[in-house]
Structures are given as structure tokens and as C-alpha cells.
Structure 1
Amino acid sequence: MKKKITLLIPTKNEESNIRDCILSAKNIVDDIYIVDSYSTDKTVDLARELGAHILSRQFDNYSDQKNWAIAQVPNEWILLLDADEKITPELEKEITALVEQDTIDQYDAYWVYRKNFFFNREIKYSGYQKDKVIRLFKKASSHYTNRVHECLHIEGHVGFLKEKLYHNTYRGFDFHLAKLSRYASLQAEDYDKKTGKLTGYHFILKPGMRFFKHYIIKQGFRDGIAGLILSSLNAYATFLRYVKLWMLRNNIES
């Protein structure tokens, strides 16, 4: 029997991305679900026009949001995409072949490498050289952990797909800064239990080390000005994490 796949997309105000995301995967899935955190734009309407089922849930953290949604969908196999990701034609053919040849069950999940775009150009270095995510997986074998940069744990064997996933994370500089701030707020709660007294090491050295890692070790300089900005943003994200932790410990509102 042909394996059925559900497309699952977490959303919050993704009207600029949701249509392209759904259309890129529509030919390889049997149904479509979005788990929406009460968008105030046209995300839900656009998704519904393309045949998506709408799940609504107040956002608390990334792992819980996805785990809750996974439990709601009907099919054994799930293709989970972020709204800023798209299936390429080559990846569509590869997944289609797995289903048609009935070989998808040789693994319980699949890694997919990503082609990352920032400032409307492909980032080939800066730590993104081997960026990969698990996006195709069996429902019963999978569970997300970590509140911010969530990690999908698989009970079973994980294979690799050859073709890449398109990922454009840039939606404006202010939007990106706001996203870093949201991440830092969630991280601060997690780091509170495992971080001792905050010192200059956290506010100066750790961000500096993060910049050095991405710009020098991971060759961000080869991505030009975009690589310099990305490396700086990674350093800023580290700095902001400890600022938010300091604010949390001193009962200061963000």
C-alpha cells in the first residue's frame, strides 16, 4: 500500500511565505496541515484556499508546538516544513520515487541538506556549509526536544536525501532582529538553571568567540559583506541571550 504523507507547517503571520511553501510540496503529500499561533494577517486564509486543515494553538515554545501538532495529523509519515522553506523540483522527484518504489520505510526519518539564502543571496560558508535538518519522518518514531533550537529525536534509523531544501530566512532586518530577541528570551529561561554568575566572560568573550568561529573558522569572510553581517548577528545573539538572562534574574521586563 502506498505510504501517505502529511505536510505540516508551523505558522505565525507567514502570509508572505505560506503559499510558496505549500505549493512546493503539494504534489508529494496527501493532506496539508498548518499549526497556527493565531496569525493576524492572511496566513490562515491563504492556507485554507490551498486545501490546508487549520490547527490553532497559542505558542509557548517551538518543541511543544510541533509535538502537539504531530499528534493531531492522520498519516504515518510527516513532511514538516518551516514556512520559509520550499521543496525544490529535484527534492520532489526524490521523495516521490521513495513513495512510488515503496522504499521510504527503509528508514524512520531522513536528513535533508539546505541551501540557505540571506539578503537574497546564497550563503555557502559562515557555518552553513553542511546545514541539515530532519524534515521527513515517521510520526510514531519522532519527538522534539529543546525549546528554542528544537531537536528532533528519532527512535530508529535515519537516512539522507541527496537533494537539497530551499531555505530563505530573511524577511527584513528588523524582523530578523525581533526573531533573535524572541529566541533569546526563551533561551534565557533554559540557561538560568545551568549558568552561574554572569560576568564579562558571558557578555564580551563568548560573543567574540562566536564571531571568530563563524567569520574565521567557518570562513564567513568568503560570503563577503553578508558573511560579515551574519557572523556579527550570531555574536549579537549570544550577547542578547545573556542580557535577557540578566534581565530575567533582576525581574526587568523585556
Structure 2
Amino acid sequence: MILQEKQLLTALVITYNEEQNIKKVLADLAFADEIIVIDSFSLDKTFKIASSYQNVKVAQRSFDNFASQRNYALSLASNSWILFIDADERLTPELQQEISIIIHQRNAASAYYMRRSFMFENQKLRFSGWQTDKIIRLFKKENAHYNIRKIVHEKLVVSGKIGKLKNRLIHHSYSTYEDYKQKMILYGKLKAQEELLKNTRPNFFHFYIRPGYQFLNQYLLRLGILDGKKGFVICYLNALSVAVRFQELKKIRSKN
């Protein structure tokens, strides 16, 4: 392993009504050289809390979609190395140390996947499609940007080699049933915009077969059944998101 001169790291977080998460995620990011929070005019105390940290830069921008929000955050970063974390994600000390080592390697890749452990309330979800979950969270700014046509579950377009970190990111996505349900409904409505761009014309297949397949795939093929009641809830709500996507698309098309 060949090390190079000091490399600086910028940590980015986009937020909306994250007062229950913001202190914990900022504590996890304290090892970064620069921390920037982009808040979408939260209705709770998120902006106030983040602004109280002397080592955190805070900006506000109206939310249009996730890809645009993330690209805007990238434009504010001062450093080459970017760590993009969601407010409900947590970094273990081992992951923090691994990141600090990786960015100082001369032969470092342009970006790195992180595997994620999905937490259902305070317990790890072992299956339900999440067992292979991975996402790019560490990358060089000059080698990456978010695809503006993927406005939810946004895709990072990377130029160059992509590596994989050993330590897992902890994902506290599910806090309560209603919270996760509203999140899935929002994602479904945003995905409808993607389908509109693809000129999708929803029909029986989209309204019934797609949601049904989503549920059965995660619950049976991806072993959600082994997660018990938790697995059923997650698989159902993910299928609901697919149903909402095409119902929303139908509404949008009927107005045009």
C-alpha cells in the first residue's frame, strides 16, 4: 500500500425534517475535514441544530429531486474526496478508519461501494432483498456526478475504477411503520416522474402485475419470509411504492 500526501475529505448530507437523526450523523462525520448540510427548508429543528455546529456549513435549497439536490451539494464541496451520507445512516469507527486510509492510497479507485446493514427499528433485517444492498458513498468529485434522469434511488455516474470497502454502513431507514410508508409513497411519486420521462403508458400490467411481482420477489425469492413479520411489512411497503408509482403516473398523464 503506497500512501500519498494529506488528502482532505468533504462529507455531504441532504436533509428534510431530520431532527431525530442530525446530531448522530454529524457526530459520525466529525472526522471529515469539511461537513456540508443541504437542508430542504425543514419544518422541524434540523436547520437550527445543524447551524449550531461550528464545524458544519449549512445551506438551504428547495427540493426538486434527489439527483439535483445531491449535485448541488457536490458543487459546494471544497475537496476532491467526497463522503455522501444520508441522515439515517451511521458510520462505525472501523468504517471511519477505513475511509481515512483509503483516500490516502496512491492507487485508490475513483469511487467505492459500501455494503449496508438495513435496520428495522433497532434490529438488523437479514433478508427481504437487503442482504446484497450496496451503494457508492465515497468518491472523487472530479470523477463522478449524479444522473439527473434518475431522480429517486439516484445513480452516481463514475468515470474510472470502482472499489468496495470492507466495513458496512448502518442504515436506520425504518423507524416506524407510518414513517417508512410515507417514505415509500414519496419515492413512488418521484419514480412516476422518471416513468413519464421514459414515456411509459401504465396499464393492467403496471397497476397489478408489477406490484405483485415486487412483493413476491422480495418476500419469497429474496427470502423476506425468513424475516418474519418485519419481512412482510418491508416487502409490502416496497410493493406499495411500485403501485403508487403507476397510479401517480396515471394521474399525471390524465392532466396532460
Residue 104 of structure 1: how far off its partner (Å): 6.2
CA contact (8 A) 2:102 2:108 kept: no
The letter for the 2-side match of 1:216 is: L
CA contact (8 A) 2:212 2:239 kept: yes
CA contact (8 A) 2:185 2:240 kept: no
Residue 45 of structure 1: how far off its partner (Å): 2.1
**Aligned: 1:45 with 2:68:** no
Return the match for 2:248 from 241, 244, 247.
244
Residue 105 of structure 1: how far off its partner (Å): 5.0
Structure 2: segments with no counterpart, 5+ residues: none
Counterpart Cα distance in 1 of 2:66 and 2:135: 15
Distance 1:195 1:160, change over 3 A: same
Residue 178 of structure 1: how far off its partner (Å): 1.8
Return the match for 2:123 from 121, 124, 142.
121
Return the match for 2:206 from 192, 196, 202.
202
**Aligned: 1:234 with 2:226:** no
**Structure-1 residue corresponding to 2:92:** 88
Detail structure 1 runs of 4+ shifted over 4 Å in the superposition: none
Deviates more, 1:193-202 or 1:179-188: 193-202
Distance 1:179 1:104, change over 3 A: farther
Distance 1:56 1:105, change over 3 A: farther
Count of aligned pairs: 249
**Aligned: 1:112 with 2:125:** no
Residue 175 of structure 1: how far off its partner (Å): 2.1
Residue 31 of structure 1: how far off its partner (Å): 1.3
CA contact (8 A) 1:117 1:168 kept: yes
**Structure-1 residue corresponding to 2:140:** 138
The letter for the 2-side match of 1:207 is: P
CA contact (8 A) 1:86 1:166 kept: yes
- What SS is found at the alignment partner of 1:250? helix
CA contact (8 A) 1:78 1:136 kept: yes
CA contact (8 A) 1:21 1:85 kept: yes
The letter for the 2-side match of 1:70 is: L
Deviates more, 1:138-147 or 1:198-207: 198-207
**Structure-2 residue corresponding to 1:77:** 81
Once the two structures are superposed, residues 25-66 of structure 1 have per-residue CA deviations (whole angstroms, 9 ceiling, x without a partner) of: 212x10110011111211122222232101211110100110
Once the two structures are superposed, residues 179-233 of structure 1 have per-residue CA deviations (whole angstroms, 9 ceiling, x without a partner) of: 2222222211221243554322211111111111001110001111100111111
Distance 1:20 1:104, change over 3 A: farther
CA contact (8 A) 1:119 1:226 kept: no
Distance 1:84 1:105, change over 3 A: farther
**Structure-2 residue corresponding to 1:8:** 12
Structure 1: segments with no counterpart, 5+ residues: none
Counterpart Cα distance in 2 of 1:13 and 1:151: 23
Counterpart Cα distance in 1 of 2:184 and 2:234: 12
Distance 1:144 1:196, change over 3 A: closer
**Structure-2 residue corresponding to 1:165:** 169
**Structure-2 residue corresponding to 1:103:** 105
- What SS is found at the alignment partner of 2:255? coil
The letter for the 1-side match of 2:198 is: K
The TM-score with structure 1 as length reference comes to: 0.93
Once the two structures are superposed, residues 63-106 of structure 1 have per-residue CA deviations (whole angstroms, 9 ceiling, x without a partner) of: 0110011011101111110000011111112122334xx31652
**Aligned: 1:222 with 2:199:** no
Residue 171 of structure 1: how far off its partner (Å): 3.1
